[in-house]
Every structure is written in C-alpha cells, then in structure tokens.
C-alpha cells in the first residue's frame, strides 16, 4: 500500500497533509487528511482522533472550517479526516445524483446490495483499513478516539459502540441518532442494505446502545446539538438516543446549545470541548 | 439603501450574517458578511475590523476558515468581510476568465478604463459606501481597522495609508506590497487604470509609504508573511515595502514565519495576533 502526498501546509506549528491511496475494501482511490501536531517533530507519538464528516463533505470541510488545530497543537493530538464515501469513475452514484445517497453519502456502513457492495464499505475502511494505514505511516500511538458531524456523528456513534476496544471515547455534533426512523437513514439503508429493516439495526446508535454492553465497554459519549438546527426533529432524533441511554445506564453527556444551527459555525464554537473530552478520556490502551 | 439578509448563524455566542444590497458605486448588487460579537446583545457598540480577501475569494473565505471568532467574541470586535469585486450579469469579466482579472479580482481600486470603470470601484466601496452602510445598520462605533490577505493585503495597506483618519491600524497577511512591479499588479493596473504607470502609483503601498506622511498620520502596520509562500518573491515583494518604511521611519512590524505558505492554514495560525494588534491600537476616534 503506497501513500501519495497531495498537499502539505504548516498550521499552528504542526502539519496539515492530504494523501491518496488505493483502498482494498472500497476498491477505489481514497483521499484523507491528517493534522500532525508539533510534538511529533520531537519524536513523540501522539493519540489520534478520527473525524467523520457529514453528507456532501470531503476530507476538507473539518480541516478548513472547524478551527481545531490551535488546541490540537497544544494538547498534542493528531486528527484524521477521511472522505465520506468511495470516489472515482467506476464508483456508482445515486441515479438521481441526490446529495443523500451515493457519492458523499457512504453512511459508514458495509453495503450488501447491488450496485453498492463492491465499493461502499466505509465501515471496514474506518474501523480497520484506514487506522492500519495511519498506524504504519505516521507517528501515532494506539490511543484512538472517534468523532463526527451529522451523518459522521452517526458513524462515530455506531463505530465506537461496536468497537469499544479500539477507542477511548466517542463524540458527535448533531448526529443522526436513530437512522432507522428518519428519512435520510431509511433511504440510505434501503439502498445499501436492502429492504429488511432488521438488518439495519446494526447501524443505528439508538438500537446499539440498547444492547447488553458490559460496563467496562461503555465508552463515554459526548454529544453537542444546536437547538436551531433545521434537521433536529425530522432527521437527528437525539431524544430517542437519550431515552435508550437512560434506560441502559449508558454514560452519555448531551449538550443542547441554544441558538446554534447545523453548520460548521456551530462546530467551531464547541470543538474545543470535544478535543478536551477526547484528551481527558485517553488511557494507555 | 435596503439590506437583504441572506443568512444568520450563531457562532461563539455572536452572530455571523450575510447581506446583499445595491451598490451605487459598483452599479450592481454586492454581498458582504459581518460577525457581530456577543457584546452587542447588551447594547454595546463595538469597533469594526474590515477584512479584504484575496484573488478568487468572496465574503465567505475568511469567515469560514480564519478561526477569528473566538477571540473577536472575547475582545468585542465586529468583523466585516466584503466581496472581492462587483458581481452580476452586467458586470464585465476578463475575456479569458483568468483568476487574476475581473470577477474576484477587483484590486480595491477605482477603474478608469473601459469596460471596467462603471462597475469596478472597489476603492470607493471599501472606503466610503460600505462603512456608511455598516455604521447605519449595525451597532458599531466609529473605531475602524483594516486588514486583508494577498490582494486584500494590498487593499488594506493602500486604503489605510491613504485614509489615516478613518482607521486606527492596518494589518495584512502575505500582501502584494509593490503591485506596480509584479505580474499580478501590472496586469490588473494596465487593464483597470490604463498604460500610464504614473497613475498606478496611487495604488501601490510601497510608493505610498514613501510620501511625506506626518507622524500623526502614520497608522501602525503589522504584516505576517510565510517564508514558504509560493508567491513571495515574484508577486508579494515585501522587501521593497520594508526598505521604503525604513527610509521613511514608518512604524511597520514585519513578521516572517518560517515554514508557512499562502493559505488560510497560515492565516488561522496567526489571526489572533492581528486581532490583538487591532484591539491594542484602538483609540476613541
């Protein structure tokens, strides 16, 4: 596996870099961005936070708009931002080219249905392939966290809940909390996973949190949600996740922020809380 | 003059808003963005920093990528980001649609040549029309600063040098310091101002700083420049400005930052220095 460097820029004394590589699980060339804090220049290995972006995004949105690097540099945190779907000429897109299916809308699952299943395996990509690349090519240690926004918040929650041995904490901004019940999730899961809703439950945070999770596997979760978010009631449904967490004694901190919307203006306002949450939950795994 | 609100998002307890309005000097509909810090909600009026963006930019680049709002909220600073040229169906563009002339490349001057002169009057827009709109419609006081990046750094320097009574300080990232000597400037000035280079001197910071400026009119200038900036030698030429400042005892602070490039990754790394510089030079004008 060869990494091809696309860009490198110094930012807050660290480096923002973009790379492409051939993905075995997605059968295409994938692009990701990484922020390496200045501590790595002194030979330190650093923990790494994976950031999963939302619908229509690429590796660029978080890196350009979140304002995360000042504190990441101070705390010594690497951040990895993958793309949101496979890309390329051969990769199928929604026939109607809608923003919420196909390119830019991988939903962090392994597709089982045609024509998606050969390429749309973002779950395996985020859980296994990409971390292996990062571990083998960059000065990071084994401590990982996972975070994301909207569709990427859904990805962070479901991947973190299903792989507690891989992460120290989970956080999300404005996540799709109960995708089997909302239009975005139903549309995507029907296409990618078929029309048996029982199979969708594997990728629904509210359903996963209801499972019998040993206390030692309950990663702490932080969620930030703006109450002026246009998607809150119809698509995000945090109340369902909160109720399931309460019923199952799951350690969830839910911060409702008055007046904030679904944009990166909201994320930038509270990203420091999430970096500090990640940092405070690090352990030597 | 009517303002039409295009968007409003809460960010760092303040508001980011976009507006359009008919511009008398540019003969088209112009768009700008404003950040209003939380202090205005308690009835305070706040000082305002004008940010002039570079080639190809709109009102959005700085607002989305600079990471300025946390400190602007803390210090109580409004920020206004105009567009970089007139826009619209009637507005002429470069016949070759190059990125460095026409739309997105107004160069903060008043054009005298056809077909530009009816629309490309960004100097009057920034100096007079836009501040009047801001003063009449938002809770800002009379204290103003001017800053910008690249072509916008050129705009901030030249406008600030020519209007010391209007601003408290000038700052710039990676400015075009001597446009009458570099390819970007020569191309734009030839088109907008005609082929008599004497007329170009009005819009060249290095030339303006050579003029006999009374000490009381010497606004402090801060410049940040990355030494890995691809445009440094051919287009930006800060050494010429520094030499002119030294010869004329002009108060210039020039910060060369090792390893940084021309991007917003650089700006975001040092924007706090510029906001603190603006804040520390405020006086009750």
The pLDDT tens digits for B136-180 are 999 999 999 999 999 999 999 999 999 999 999 999 999 999 999
3-state SS, residue B107: coil
Does A284 have pLDDT greater than 70?
A: no
- pLDDT of A285: 42
Segment B62-74 shows an average pLDDT of 98
Give me the residues of A, 146-205, that contact B with CB < 8 A: none
Residue of B150, B168, B171, B174 marked active site: B150
B27-55 pLDDT, tens digit per residue, is 999 999 999 999 999 999 999 999 999 99
- pLDDT of B1: 77
3-state SS, residue B114: coil
Residues from chain A that touch B259, judged by Cβ atoms under 8 A, are 10
Give me the residues of A, 18-77, that contact B with CB < 8 A: 64-65, 67, 69-70
What's the gap in Å between the CA of A146 and the closest CA on chain B?
Answer: 23
First to last CA, chain B: 26
Q: How many CB pairs under 8 A join A and B?
A: 65
- pLDDT of A1: 77
Whole-angstrom distance, CA of residue B220 vs CA of residue B167: 10
Burial degree of B214 (CB within 10 A; 0-12, 13-18, 19+): exposed
Residues from chain B that touch A226, judged by Cβ atoms under 8 A, are 10
Q: Is B249 on the interface with A (CB under 8 A)?
A: no
Q: What are phi and psi of A39, to 5 degrees?
A: -60, -30
Q: Is A9 on the interface with B (CB under 8 A)?
A: yes
Segment A111-131 shows an average pLDDT of 98
Whole-angstrom distance, CA of residue B225 vs CA of residue A277: 34
Does B267 have pLDDT greater than 50?
A: yes
Inspect the interface and report whether the beta carbons of A16 and B228 lie closer than 8 Å. no
Superfamily of domain A4-279: Alpha/Beta hydrolase fold, catalytic domain (3.40.50.1820)
Disruptive mutation site among B269, B272, B273 for chain A (greatest number of A CBs within 10 Å): B269
Give me the half-sphere count of Cα atoms (radius 13 Å) on the Cβ side of residue B278: 31
**Angle of CA points A153, A73, A12, to nearest 5°:** 110
Q: Which of B186, B169, B143 lies closest to B223, judged by CA?
A: B169
Q: Is A253 on the interface with B (CB under 8 A)?
A: no
Does B284 have pLDDT greater than 60?
A: no
Whole-angstrom distance, CA of residue A285 vs CA of residue A141: 9
A214-261 pLDDT, tens digit per residue, is 999 999 999 999 999 999 999 999 999 999 999 999 999 999 999 999
What's the gap in Å between the CA of B9 and the closest CA on chain A?
Answer: 7
Q: Is A136 on the interface with B (CB under 8 A)?
A: no
Segment B81-93 shows an average pLDDT of 96
Please state whether the predicted TM-score (pTM) of the whole model is above 0.90: yes
Both structure tokens of A167: 């992460």
Q: Is B265 on the interface with A (CB under 8 A)?
A: yes
Does A4 have pLDDT greater than 80?
A: yes
Q: Give B285's pLDDT tier (boundaries 50, 70, 90).
A: very low
- pLDDT of B283: 81
Q: What is the ipTM of this complex?
A: 0.91
């Amino acid at each position: 596996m060869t990494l091809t460097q696309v860009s490198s820029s110094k930012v807050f004394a660290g480096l923002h870099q973009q790379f492409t590589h051939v993905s075995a699980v997605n059968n295409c060339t994938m692009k990701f961005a990484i922020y390496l804090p200045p501590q790595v220049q002194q030979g330190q290995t650093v923990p790494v936070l994976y950031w999963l972006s939302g619908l229509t995004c690429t590796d660029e949105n978080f890196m350009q708009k979140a304002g995360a690097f000042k504190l990441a540099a101070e705390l010594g945190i690497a951040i990895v931002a993958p793309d949101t779907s496979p890309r390329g000429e051969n990769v199928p897109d929604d026939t109607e080219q809608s923003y919420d299916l196909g390119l830019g809308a991988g939903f962090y699952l392994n597709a089982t249905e045609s024509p998606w299943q050969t390429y749309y395996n973002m779950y395996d990509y985020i859980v296994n392939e990409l971390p292996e690349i990062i571990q083998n090519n960059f000065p990071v240690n084994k401590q990982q966290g996972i975070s994301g926004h909207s569709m990427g918040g859904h990805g962070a929650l479901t991947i973190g809940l299903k792989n507690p041995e891989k992460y120290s904490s989970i956080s999300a901004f404005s996540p799709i909390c109960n995708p089997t019940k909302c239009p975005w999730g139903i549309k995507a899961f029907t296409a990618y996973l078929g029309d048996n809703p029982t199979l969708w439950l594997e990728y629904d945070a509210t359903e996963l949190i209801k499972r019998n999770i040993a206390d030692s596997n309950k990663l702490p979760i932080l969620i930030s949600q703006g109450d002026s978010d246009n998607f809150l009631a119809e698509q995000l449904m945090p109340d369902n996740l909160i109720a399931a967490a309460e019923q199952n004694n799951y350690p969830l901190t839910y911060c409702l922020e008055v007046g904030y919307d679904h944009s990166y203006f909201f994320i930038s306002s509270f990203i420091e809380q999430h970096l500090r949450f990640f940092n405070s939950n690090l352990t030597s795994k």
